[in-house]
Structure 1
Amino acid sequence: MKRGRRALAGVGVMLLVLGVAAVGYAQGRDADGSRMQARQLAPGASHSDAISPPRDREDWFFVRVDEARELTFSLRAQRGEAKMTLELQGATGDRLGVSTTEGGKTALARRVNPGIYYVRVSGEGGRYELRVR
């Protein structure tokens, strides 16, 4: 009986490992590559990351706002010539603004009500810094 349980446990572990490997392969190494995987940023915070196509085409973030206010997002690409896009979305996916870097920099400001807002950074590739105020 113990031998049968060990065999079943071994099969379970194998399926778990295969499942994790399949998810890892499907998502690549990109832990923030979809809206469902968005990382939280707080107003006043900054985050450095990189886009590296073809597997890592975009990074997602979200900001939780407790009161009506002006939100400003600024994006700076390390390589000034790299084209990167900054997009702000509401909780339901409605596009609130889009801006593309010029000279490696761009900013996007919007007056928002309380809620959750999503930011997508995409582009040709390279390191960047995203700030939210």
Structure 2
Amino acid sequence: MPVAFDVVWCKYPQLQHGQDPGPVARPCLVRKPYTHLTTIKGKEYTVGYVDVIYGTKWVDKFTPPQGFHVDDAAEKKACGLKVDTVFDLLDHEILPWSLTYFSNDNGRPTIGGRFTGAMQTRLKEQVKLLQR
């Protein structure tokens, strides 16, 4: 399972389709992973869930503080991103950690990269601005 600040490839649900997986995998930022003990047909299983933040290449769609932009070449490389990306800090979902939502479309690994320490600090400051 991923950890907070990982960038994962996710078939993020589209609002008009409810919780169905989206058509393509996109980069999403992990807010927090969870596990939950579930009983299925009399057997107990640990099921993983991931709270992820929506990401898109349409960087002008969300401005700070709502949008967290990753456009520096070194930051994109650390996150496993090829293009400038913005994460909408107000759009997140808790999804089961499964191939239904998290996959390696187009040869990409499920966990593509990770926010650097500097990015994590910048993100935390930006979240504080949103909470005002």
TM range (shorter): under 0.3
What is the TM-score when the length of structure 1 is the normalising length?
0.23
The alignment's TM-score, normalised by the length of structure 2, stands at 0.23
Structure number with bigger Rg:
1
